Amino acid sequence: MNYREDLKNMKRIVVKIGSSSLTHKETGDLDLLKLEKLVRVLTNLRNQGKDVILVSSGAIAVGRKQMGLNHGRLTLPQKQACAAIGQAQLMMIYQKLFSEYGQKVAQILMTKVTMVNEPNKTNAINTFNELLSMGVIPIVNENDTVSTYEIKFGDNDRLSAIVSSLTGAKLLILLSDIDGMYTDDPNTNENAEFIDIVDEIDDSLEKMGKNTSSSKVGTGGMRTKIGAAKIATKSGAYMVIANGSNVNIIEDIIDGEDVGTLFVANEEDSFDLDEELK
């Protein structure tokens, strides 16, 4: 079975981009060319009649840069303040870029407490569905300003898998600073082999999922990506981890090309998102 071919026909797609993919390594400032390209690629998918959801990190990274706090660790209140500042700035830039192509966008900030409680969860699903039926691209982030550790989803890899599950998306693309998954950390083991397709997430795969991301700005490593893959695939979505250094890779994935690591959908009727959120 050619799973890659299946990716050509996915109607509802979630794309997650992390802070490290959105900012220049040297300065921590936004990579505007990459953002412009991302916006063009996503709008083009919308123009093909697909439902598109963007999960974008970057709130804290943009806020700390704006406030000149780009070195050292931040306290929790500092992080939350930076997220409040950066999220607004980030949305302003997204809105400006998407509007150049006439594409409407919306901001959805999610907190875990709202997702485990009814009727909030149903309201969120209804809002996503309504926005998508209007042709809008929802831009999602965690509501970092009010989410402290104990009430956090964890990271945006996980959040994007939860969004896929809530919205019944059939494809989740995680754009990372690594080409996909390897049998070991390719930075330290030159014999590490690239994994093209994962059709079952077993213990050996989980062991391989060390924190292979060298990123200092985001929170997700390979372990969190495998966690996300479990949620996404059990909810019936395919998931691809791919290198976001060139965002045209999104089109390559949807054209069925052999890029990134593909986790095959493996829907489980017994899968309960509420359990995952506990």
Our finding on whether 218 is near ligand GLU (CB under 6 A) is yes
Q: At its nearest, how many Å lie between ligand GLU and the CB of residue 103?
A: 21
Show the binding pattern over residues 40-69: x = contacts ligand GLU (CB under 6 A), - = does not.
Answer: -----------------xxxxx--------
Q: Could you say which of 4, 144, 174, 178 contacts ligand GLU (CB under 6 A)?
A: 144
Q: For residue 186, is the peptide bond before it cis, meaning its omega torsion is within 30 degrees of 0?
A: no
Instruction: For residue 30, give both structure tokens.
Output: 């936004």
In the chain, helix, strand, coil percent, each to 5?
A: 45, 15, 40
Cβ closer to ligand GLU: 129 or 145? 145
- Span 219-238, contacts to ligand GLU by CB under 6 A: 219-220
What is the total count of residues that contact ligand GLU (CB under 6 A)? 16
Which ranges constitute the DSSP H helices of the chain? 3-6, 19-22, 32-47, 59-66, 76-99, 112-116, 120-133, 156-167, 203-208, 222-234, 249-254, 273-277
- Span 181-200, contacts to ligand GLU by CB under 6 A: none
Cβ closer to ligand GLU: 220 or 227? 220
The window from 5-13, 217-225, 230-238, 241-249 that contacts ligand GLU (CB under 6 A) reads: 217-225
- Span 122-141, contacts to ligand GLU by CB under 6 A: 141
The pair phi, psi for residue 14, each rounded to 5°, is -110, 130
Cβ closer to ligand GLU: 58 or 227? 58
Tell me the Ramachandran region of residue 238: left when phi exceeds 0, alpha when psi lies from -120 to 50, beta otherwise. beta
- CB neighbour list of residue 55: distance below 8 Å, 6 or more residues apart: 14, 15, 16, 17, 139, 140, 141, 156, 159, 160, 163
Our finding on whether 18 is near ligand GLU (CB under 6 A) is yes
Which residues make up the interface to ligand GLU (CB under 6 A)? 18-19, 57-61, 83, 141-142, 144, 155-156, 218-220
